[in-house]
Amino acid sequence: MADQDTFIGQEAKGEIMAARLSEEQTVHIISVDLGDHAALRNAMSEHNATPDMLICSVGGTTPDQIGFLTDLAPEALAACFSSNYHASLFITQWCVQRWVQQPNPSRTRHLVYIASGAAFVALPGYTAYTPAKTAIRALADTLRQELLLYGDESMYRVHIAFPGAFITDSFIQEQTTKPELLKNMEGSNYLDRDELLKNIQSADEIALKIFKGATLRQAFLLIICLFKLLVIEKLVFTIVLRSGVRHADSRALPPRESTRDSVLVLFYHALGNFPVFESSSILSGTVIKSTQQGLIVGLYDLGCLIGSLTTFGLSKFRRRTCICAVAAIVIIGTILQVTATTIGQLIAGRIITGIGVGTNIAIIPSWQAEVSSAHSCGALITVEAALIIFGLAISNWICFGASHATSSLQWQFPIAFQCTFALCLICIAPFLVESPRWTAHHVSIQKAREVAARLNGSNEDDHIVQQVISDIEQALEAEGTSRSMFDIFKHGGQQNFRRMLLGVGGLFMQQMTGINAVAYYMPVILQEYIDLPHDLALILSAAAAVQFFIVSLVPIWVIERLGRRTWMIWGAFAQMVTLIFVVAGFSIGGRGGGILVTTMFFLFYDAFAVSYLNIPWLYAPEINNLQMRAQGSALASASNWLFNGIVVTITPIALSQISWRYWIVWIAMNFAFMPLVYFCYPETQGLSLEKIDNIFAGDVGHGFSALTQGVRESVVMIRGEHLAPPSTSGDEEKGKDTAQAMHRETSI
């Protein structure tokens, strides 16, 4: 420890020594001004130890350094910058020079900087302090690059935390000189500590958040502290007591690699989702023959169907490679559409584009699941589904804007715009990580261990990483006895075929709610059947899509509070009611009927957004046996595109032939889904994969019981009542152990 104040250092040393893990752990204190380069060099020359980790919690302000720029003396400005930046810079230089002189460390070396939220948010009255903290951020970013000259991330890592205001004695004293403007901004305009604690975190809380994720173990720590920043005592004390805690809090630290990778894959999925409705709804505002319109739009879904089925044979290839390839396919298909001079070329381009989009939609969700935590699965699926609707909203507004063009740009620009997302997919791919399971299966266990450590934000010897790798090895060993893709069409001891049908049925119901009869053709319906002006029809369709997107975000917070069955049953009921009013509006006719129909379309979107938009995509991977999850998800995705294509192909024809009576079909469908879900669909919300396997263990029943088997048991489990698992053979017990192992693997 290096500190100007010997008393503070001795006090901190006493706390650390009292909490140390063994007598071999020692604390050395150096009294030196770290802003004085010569003094620092002289002091450190007396110590030969090379630190494994350098923690810089330096700086602060004195009363003469607080104030607006026009009021500060030049000497105060220089002193503040020196104590907050030079103090970190000089000791970092000494430390890195020692590291370079002693290469090939036995453990990863870390640089940890405790900066401030002031590096991102301007603090009025802290003109001297804020630039220094921004400089610390730039120093950390620069060192991340420079240290690559001496070794990769397994040898050197740079961390920086940006805490906001937190409670210490010096912070309390600081309130007497801090400008009122800043105190009001940060909620610290009460001098009483109890009042401050209501709005501002304590030093203990900040310390815990900063050091979560650090594997400190037996490392020699050089901790730097200037002035009387009492937080350093809390930080050092935390090192001893909280050693081994590994999950960082995003509010205290910049995103860890695991968070970054999950967010990147989520964003990657977003880019893959945008073209779904972007391409699907482009032609919805174009008035052409109903048969041609249905065929052109529907054949795009045929391409998506083909693309989703190709994923059966792509599992051995790197996902990054596959997605870059299919992104290139999307670009090729888009070029064919934009340059089309005949209907045939336009259709060919749409099929090719659909193949690319369908493959992306089938691949990326599994990738997302394997690099994300299991408890966030429902929320992530909701976000991903919402991003599809965001694509719908974008496409509607683009179509509205392009509709005012008088040249071929009216339809060429909206189609060409899809290339933006495909190019982004290709650009982001190199920064993404493969999943540990894929890496273990197709590369090596060692590489999988490295990936798992990266996702966990820890070292390879971390016990969580070791457990994950052990689970992967067990799962792969068990899977080796059942690798045929056709096993999903057999019941076996886990009712694989029935479970696959439930997943396929969920996405079948999603498409047969009538959603795409509205989403694809709302502008045409409002213009041709409600007699609205062209521009007004496009504006209302775009506004409905924006509302659709906003409401689709609601399940992020509520999707795990109610069961999957509850959402689907009540969603079908709400959709049925809105469509009944749609039929009534068409029957009434006139301005009043048009208003009723348009309003019900908006409400239909809302009902769908909180139920069938998300649940079917979530249900398919949950309900399938883990060994059959890839095949089950691919077939469910294929059913989505198959029935999507059927709906969008027949809708313009049906509207032209039977008009408003067409909506009665969707009323009947939604009515039928309520008893279907109630009697045939087991509940999966909150159940582990092992418990879901228990529900389906044993042979399939006979007659009606074959369809309802396991439904009651799942509801009983959710209610917390005791349910003894069915007796199983040794092979079935092994399967359940495998499911549990793979569930733990998916959690990481």
The residue-averaged pLDDT of 612-622 equals 84
Q: What is the pLDDT at residue 377?
A: 61
Q: Tell me which long-range contacts 477-481 makes (C-beta under 8 A, separation of at least 24).
A: 478/627, 478/734, 478/735, 478/737, 478/738, 478/741, 479/627, 479/738
pLDDT at 344: 84
Residue, of 347 and 288, whose pLDDT is higher: 347
* Best CA proximity match to 321, nearest among 350, 275, 266, 360: 360
Q: Determine the 3-state secondary structure of 224 from DSSP.
A: strand
pLDDT reported for residue 504: 92
**Helix (H) and strand (E) counts in the chain:** 34, 6
d(Cα 451, Cα 464) in Å, to the nearest integer? 13
Are 445 and 465 in contact by the 8 Å Cβ rule? The answer is no
The CA distances from residue 164 to 40, 136, 233, 260, in Å, are 29, 15, 18, 21
Residue 582, CA distances (Å) to 66, 287, 530, 602, 658 in order = 65, 22, 11, 11, 15
What pLDDT shows up at residue 5? Answer: 58
- Would you state the pLDDT for residue 291? 54
The token pair at 135 is 């400089």
Residue % of the chain over a pLDDT of 70:
71
Range scoring the smallest mean pLDDT among 211-225, 363-377, 406-420: 211-225
Across the range 155-162, mean pLDDT stands at 84
Helix (H) or strand (E) holding 202: strand 201-202
Q: How confident is the model at residue 354 (pLDDT cuts 50, 70, 90)?
A: confident
Checking if the pLDDT of 397 tops 60, the result is: yes
Q: How many residues are given for the chain?
A: 748
Spatial contact of 182 and 123, defined as CB atoms under 8 Å apart: yes
pLDDT score at 619: 83
Residue pLDDT, tens place only, 680-711: 898 887 666 557 777 776 666 565 666 777 77
pLDDT digits (tens, 9 = 90+) for 7-49: 666 777 888 888 777 777 788 888 888 888 888 888 888 777 7
- pLDDT tens track for 533-574: 888 888 998 899 899 999 988 887 777 777 788 899 999 999
Can you name the residues that pair with 605 across neighbouring β-strands?
A: none
Q: State the Cα angle at 64 between 58 and 65, rounded to 5°.
A: 45
- pLDDT at residue 175, as a whole number: 73
The yes-or-no verdict on residue 155 having pLDDT over 70 is yes
Residue 606 banded pLDDT, cuts 50, 70, 90:
very high
Whether 617 has a pLDDT exceeding 90, the answer reads no
Q: How much is the pLDDT for 198?
A: 65
Where residue 676 falls among pLDDT bands split at 50, 70, 90? very high
Q: How far apart are CA 278 and CA 384, in angstroms?
A: 15
pLDDT at 570: 94
Give the pLDDT of residue 276. Answer: 47
At 379, the pLDDT band (50, 70, 90 cuts) reads low
C-alpha distance from residue 636 to each of 261, 433, 489 (Å): 26, 26, 13
Q: What is the pLDDT of residue 371?
A: 67
pLDDT at 61 over 50: yes
pLDDT over 50 (residue 330): yes
Beta carbons of 443 and 246 less than 8 angstroms apart: no
> Quick one: which of 270, 282, 280 has its CA closest to 300?
280
pLDDT tens-digit series, residues 72-122: 899 999 999 888 899 899 999 999 998 988 888 878 888 888 888 777 776
Lowest mean pLDDT among 476-490, 511-525, 615-629: 476-490
Domains by residue range for the chain, with CATH:
6-241 (3.40.50.720), 257-433+482-681 (1.20.1250.20)
DSSP 685: T
Q: Inform me whether the pLDDT recorded for 673 exceeds 90.
A: yes
Q: Is pLDDT larger for residue 494 or for residue 334?
A: 334
Instruction: Give the residue-averaged pLDDT of 659-670.
Output: 93
Say which range, 219-233, 437-451, 537-551, 585-599, has the weakest mean pLDDT: 219-233
Q: What is the pLDDT of residue 496?
A: 82
pLDDT digits (tens, 9 = 90+) for 406-426: 777 777 888 888 788 888 878
| Averaged confidence pLDDT in the chain | 75
In this structure, what DSSP letter does residue 160 have?
E
